Structure 1
């Protein structure tokens, strides 16, 4: 055998796995040869705005010393204005390009109706040793699918608080630990994606997929999550590192620099597969200078051990979901092996009072690996909106952990929820690239103008009158400059009446006011916005006579009173958030199993005039929360004298009762007192209404009239109204309307889709609704997909084309609102869009081949996605039984020379590969002793269905053996191939190889 008879082919198998997609790594920075660091100062000035052409204020960051390299400078934003509200968001970092001494950061005031004139903004250069933070979000499933007292508002408050804290805490990243959703449904993912939009353009974030996010068993059914959290969006971020599988965020890594340290956030799927751990080993090993924080859904248990290390643990991935690796295996196969792995964060494991855990591991290199659990979903209120702040402090070489709920403005301070570590060694190798200039050069300030003065005049697009005293509420088509929008002189009424105290609500396009004199019930007037540059727009006002209209858009509970009754240990917890009213205390009396004489938190309309109301209709939209008791209170005199209609979906009863002098009397009941849950979607609201006139009482739940008709009782002739909850943490109320008896609510129904459950064969649908306005004009019709608003109408026709529908199941609903505030929800429609299989696409085309008669030919092709069927063709005709990705011809003869191609099909669509020309040369002579010659062995592909694909180019003809080793000493045979001094393919089963093996080819003789 000649010198070329040995061919070593080195392949670290764990590096080449199915779907591998790794971003190119930046080149290492050159050594800093300067003995002194640059000093960075900041000043303020006016510069030309390349966008508008005008002059705008700016901060200029300037450096001393060497300018050959780019320099990233951090700065702290403060002052009277709010970053991202009064002016376009300043990121807190600026890059001075290579070759430049300075860089400008422009400060542009927001053109959105927010007053900004005179706001003073400051920027202070801070060193790289300044503390910085990561925000940790554990399981949010009970927020996007409100359950166990959780609410969407809790999630929203978390993210809004993070945005507001971005500057002061120097937040670098937001990390979600998985179970973003409860049931992996489109409405939940849509809510989550919409809320994460609060972070877009403000802070980067990394997400982890939990078992509730589609990882129920061995398969990752994460298509919905990946459809809304698109890899393509993350790829545009400067912090994006790469993903394991193309177009899937199930396993990803992210890169950033803070505290003089280069960091990596590595996100791993729930119960990761071996191939994922192989990929993770490669990613960590090829970034040895980066400190690695791993986020994964399940890892530490609340008993301060790794989940799965004890038979008493629940929620173990391999047992609960048949996953491949439990946390102890992840520690052995990945975490302990790398000196740069620093921390692991997880959720998943929780029980009442058991929401945290810690494990300190020691890696093979002696490095400490801090591993922390936090998960609050079972500790009341669906998690209570608690999050964790992880603050790194380079100067103390440590970090601090704190636990806080923005929703309740409450911190958890026990030792498992609030703790710190110092002298960790983390920042021992931290590297500074600059120092702030000495004061005062390290800080500058500037003042903003107010561009809202140049706003085009918004137009009136809606108005209504309701309440006592009558309140006029008007809507504009966009935000209005508050300097004139809240000025009474900006409005004119046709009757000559005057506007009183115009003011903004929490709706940015809405203004409300009283008038003098007030509009009487039934009176009509016209309001005009005056003083604008365009022709004024007028809007007709009609006082429908509604006595109370409360949609909580003002954000407060003025004139509402919470009744405590001294019955409960905890006070009632009524709160307005996201323009809804919520009750979170969960209070009840006398016991959780009682069905009679029940008392719960009540919120009463405490206007003195309301206690004289006699005949009226009171209605509210209810979001039932935990499916326990809720209801309406009417003719309320005091805590011991009122009527109450109560609904308990869990126990399946509706009751009408009267309490006089503290004694309760049951007036009517339907259903039975059974401990049996009812199948109801508690995310979908229901309208509850009571009409009372003289002795006549009628109660309605949706379209159902309770108690079979009117009930007659006139013991209490007059009184105000209220809301009632019983043992129900997280119940919500909205759109409280009190109106004269006889007010008819509008009606709405779907014409298209007509069926209650519709399956589509394309991702588009024409949606049509029929609306009966009743006596009051319609102010809006909203169409929703779950909690996501698809479109809003202010007039008919009520039809639109719903396009780009995502695959999955959708809950289509519509809500109509009239001028009196009545709000009615249409019977929802289920719309299903099965997975629309994409057109197969070939990623490996078959190659042309020229061989000698009697030799073998292997053709190989592969298309994506996986799970396709294949058929090979010869000169256009199907080859029987040639249904694999590879087609082998043994003992070739000239007659089989021609064009070969493959077709890949998913059952509905198919595509063809290129044609490969196979030429068979007749045998003329066979050398008796072929000269030795070098061969080049190529690794071509690692097929996801279990084959290593390679080929020999040129080289010595004859038999070659492919061998593997793990130690360069002992070699074992994997397979054999025959080289014909051409392009000879070979196929080896992946199952016979070991991760991190080295492979070689060895010539063993002639054929």
Structure 2
């Protein structure tokens, strides 16, 4: 009888497993799966049977489920002890020769008793040594500065007709590790990249950043050489820079242990970022693991959470979700630069030198070893100068470059002195340009404007550069908005200035003997605008309150995300059209002439009323508006022309999931409007209307306390 019961239970389990997948997915033959193991620390400490059940299930189902790779997100152990490492090794070694896999250290795998007081990973590398992976078919390499360690590693494999690269990075990666990661990803342009690191996303659907609990900066290892980087810093210094990064996966974060968002990188590519961590649940997680089903033919990514220990799936929105219209083929090539000079030809052909300083003149420019070099101490008017400084610069002298606008200029700079070094852009002549000046001795970074020979300081911040170290300086100017980053960190936020309309680029030096420049790159800034609000202000946006109940609105920026926390609305609670709430429109004068574009943003609400986007906005009486309402179960598209509102499309839909990030994209070309929510066409196809032809964009909410907006971008179509 016991045997009969056991067979019956097994049959029920198999039926459940089959039913779950056969009814919830329609995968193509190209689909494959990635299995993700988050935070197994409690299993290694107290429940080795659960750890073994996870990996044994993967082994037993690798072919039936077409599992192509297994990723461990770190915190393999809890106390970094030999006993726990032995448990982990026994469990993970079951995968050997069956499914390729990689591991990465979490904070509990590092330092004394797993405290991450130092970056000591001796036990990690003892039980998961480089030698165990270096001979496998998928192994690609490790961090070159630590050639005997497996702390930072990458693997490659092919699946679904696409080449993939899995890049595993240590807890709170150090700056030099991110430099290496940038090189690895750049050298594999035809691979789609999955980044795995122990912490990156936070449970509030934002990236791990300042003010969040369990931030890498709060651990002892943060004081070590190279420091640490949290999720937001990784995004700015690494992830967003590459067109071929598709996924970032992490564990670590507690609370509900779930979080996700889709962000748009610098090349217009979507990056799917996901947190999964089950350790807070019974038995340290009850054996749940995350499965990603990737289907290149259908362009879908389905996430599910399954426990081999319980033989159960989770069915809530955070553990069972689907992304559609996902780019999963060979990555598109990055935008071709209009200028790329690596000086490997050994000359400065194409550059014109201008000496303005008179002390220690003349300058001494040359090209050597793949770098432009300026070896003179030329400066003026005197040593204490912190503005109106006259040094030397070399500008790119092609005629067409004098008309460049809306671009980014980037270069690797180094100085073995400690005085002024930087870049100039929108250069027309010695009396008209923008200049970024970095000075280590005087501890400043400054952005200047020279207009008709008069210099103005546009922005300044304190900080020195490291003498003798390479640093990547990048300035981006698009439609009167200027951002400057140093090694990926934003120096001044977003600076608004439209006095200069275009020009070429230049390399600049002041009193800096042995200043070096390499890989000078100029690329079009394709976006009409982007705003990630990481400067923690809403500059460039104008707030308009139309509702009168619970007015006024309350817009602010917290941790790089716009929030509107008032319940402002009108005319009444039951309204489903002609609703008057609050909105913030992008107020750049040129934006009112935008015609055909793609407008996207991340939206989130912990309330259940109206939230959405407005576009082709001309004034309060003329615009299009997308309004999503969870409580009233609708998605509606309105036009307002000469103050008269008309609904032009509607769909019965839940509107959105409370507390979850929702990716909205509006594409407007001529008289065709198409709206996507998390990749799904809300209205089933283009909506036709030719009432409004140009206008800017806006963020909108109605009766919706705690509405959040982030990663706003507009690209021309």
Larger Rg: 1
TM-score using structure 2 length: 0.43
User: Which structure has more helix as a fraction of its residues?
Assistant: 2
